[in-house]
Structure 1
Amino acid sequence: MTPFIAEIVGTFLLILLGCGVNANVSLKNTYGNNSGWIVITTGWAFAVYTGVVVAGPYSGAHMNPAVTIGLAVAGEFSLFDVPSYILAQFIGAMLGAFCVWLMNKPQFDSTEDGATKRGVFCTAPSISNTFANILTEVLGTFVLVFAVLYFTDAVSTKDNTIIGLGSLGALPVAIIVWSIGLSLGGTTGYAINPARDLGPRIVHALLPIKNKGSNGWGYSWIPIVGPILGASLAAVIAMALN
């Protein structure tokens, strides 16, 4: 498997299972309806675990443009490869979101509230406050990328040496993401990943979802800018400490 394909597949699995748990908890007429925040954060942690297991040996399992950019800022990843990784991540995220809609279409049809349907795909703040919302995404992504950079070494593949979420190991990175969700995620839904938020948001905008309401474009820049700032900050501080 090439790194490009691995990033598509890993991010696809991340979003299929991550947005899948959102759908299971939020939509009407599912067995998981209203099962709560612990189920959502646990589901996303396991989604990351699954993506890392598959993509880690081939691409480092970035599955997140912020991770890719943060590693490049730190000099741990080639700038030349950044565009292809980000493209693959968005392809995987959009495919995963589409499959979540396809399998849950009857549940989407039976759910009246448009914001609930949108929430399956992308994040929104519990209280709209630009500074606080950006800060949440900065801090959450900082924790993720700092852990990747500071606590682990690169992983070796047949072709070269790469670093990413896979360099932490699947279980530790799942625990880190779970911790971020439990401790920091309640204010914005903790995107901490531009592809995870924008890719499914685009799919939400394109799909013929009954009574889907707003796409939330006014907020959509925050889960892009915040994670990139957080990842870059983590890279700068990690380099200063090493």
Structure 2
Amino acid sequence: MHSNGDIFLGEIIGTAILILFGAGVVAAVLLNHSKAKGAGWVVIAFGWGFGVLAGAYTAAPLSGGHLNPAVTVGIAIDTGDWDTVPVYIAGQMVGAMLGAVLCWLVYYGQFAANSEEETSIGTLGIFSTIPEIRVWWQNLVTETIATVGLVLPILALGLTKGLGESGTGVLVVALLVTGIGLSLGGPTGYAINPARDLGPRIVHTFLPIPNKGTSDWQYAWVPVAGPLIGAVLSGLIFNAAF
């Protein structure tokens, strides 16, 4: 049983690593004067997957490495234990904001170069998700389905004790996130994690990035609500079927 202090610290560290890698790979692909400029969606999907791998492995001894309120809620619905849910989510939000700031620091020179008007780009897509076709119900359905594709397998993974004991389960989840990005990430950018989207969006709002564009708060509820709906559905399906 993890203490509240360990959970909070573990989720901060793990989620910060997740966002540092995830936002970092998008920055590498999108920002001008980056050596990975134009590397493409496959690189982004694998970067996020490696972020899950690094963050969850690091956080696992302290908190179990949820790194995602949707995972936390899905597990709580399965187990009926809601006592530590606020601690997990608080750590995840702090970690997500910290990771976004760290990404900004790593690419500070590239963000600063965004002041060049003729080559500047909107930077929200580095930090948070933007739908390709803006139809709220479609975007909500996409995020919900993609999150079920994440949380339900994670819950089922708990039935495979050998994977959990060996630590291979974290690798499986990292590959799962990569697969979701490749298969289901096209419409919305696959938030599948409320903290992953909301924390960096808050940071983007306040960072002094030249020509950064909008933080798109009108859309911000979708990548929070969709994953939470998906988490609830995953927990209910798991309890009914397994």
TM-score, structure 1 length as denominator? Answer: 0.91
Q: Taking every aligned residue pair, what percent have the same amino acid on both sides?
A: 47
Give the Cα separation in 2 of the matches to 1:68 and 1:201: 21
**Which residue number in structure 2 is paired with residue 105 of structure 1?**
108
Q: Secondary structure at the match of 1:124?
A: coil
The RMSD of aligned alpha carbons is 2.1
**Which residue number in structure 2 is paired with residue 56 of structure 1?**
60
Question: 1:99, CA displacement in angstroms?
Answer: 0.9
Superposition map of 1:113-152 within 5 A: 116-152=122-158
User: Is the 2:157–2:169 contact (alpha carbons within 8 Å) kept by the matching residues of 1?
Assistant: no
Q: Deviations over 1:71-119 (max 9, x none)?
A: 112225x211011110000111100100111221221122357763111
Structure 1's consecutive aligned runs of 4 or more residues displaced over 4 angstroms after TM superposition are 112-115
Question: 1:234, CA displacement in angstroms?
Answer: 0.6
**Which residue number in structure 2 is paired with residue 216 of structure 1?**
216
Q: Secondary structure at the match of 1:190?
A: coil
**Which residue number in structure 2 is paired with residue 238 of structure 1?**
238
Q: Secondary structure at the match of 1:10?
A: helix
**Which residue number in structure 2 is paired with residue 23 of structure 1?**
27
- The counterpart of 2:45, out of the listed 28, 37, 41, is 41
Give the Cα separation in 2 of the matches to 1:226 and 1:115: 27
Q: Please list every run of 5 or more consecutive structure 2 residues that lacks an aligned counterpart in the other structure.
A: none
Question: 1:61, CA displacement in angstroms?
Answer: 0.7
**Which residue number in structure 2 is paired with residue 182 of structure 1?**
182
Q: Deviations over 1:187-239 (max 9, x none)?
A: 10000000000000000001111111211101100000000000110110010
Q: Secondary structure at the match of 2:79?
A: coil
Give the Cα separation in 2 of the matches to 1:196 and 1:151: 22
User: Is the 1:25–1:33 contact (alpha carbons within 8 Å) kept by the matching residues of 2?
Assistant: yes
Q: How many residues align?
A: 233
TM-score, structure 2 length as denominator? Answer: 0.91
Give the Cα separation in 1 of the matches to 2:186 and 2:135: 14
Give the Cα separation in 1 of the matches to 2:151 and 2:87: 20
Q: Please list every run of 5 or more consecutive structure 1 residues that lacks an aligned counterpart in the other structure.
A: 156-163
- The counterpart of 1:10, out of the listed 9, 14, 18, is 14
Give the letter aligned to residue 82 of structure 1: V
User: Is the 1:70–1:234 contact (alpha carbons within 8 Å) kept by the matching residues of 2?
Assistant: yes
User: Is the 2:6–2:62 contact (alpha carbons within 8 Å) kept by the matching residues of 1?
Assistant: yes
Give the Cα separation in 1 of the matches to 2:170 and 2:109: 33
**Which residue number in structure 1 is paired with residue 172 of structure 2?**
172
**Which residue number in structure 2 is paired with residue 87 of structure 1?**
90
Give the Cα separation in 2 of the matches to 1:130 and 1:56: 35
Give the Cα separation in 1 of the matches to 2:121 and 2:205: 13
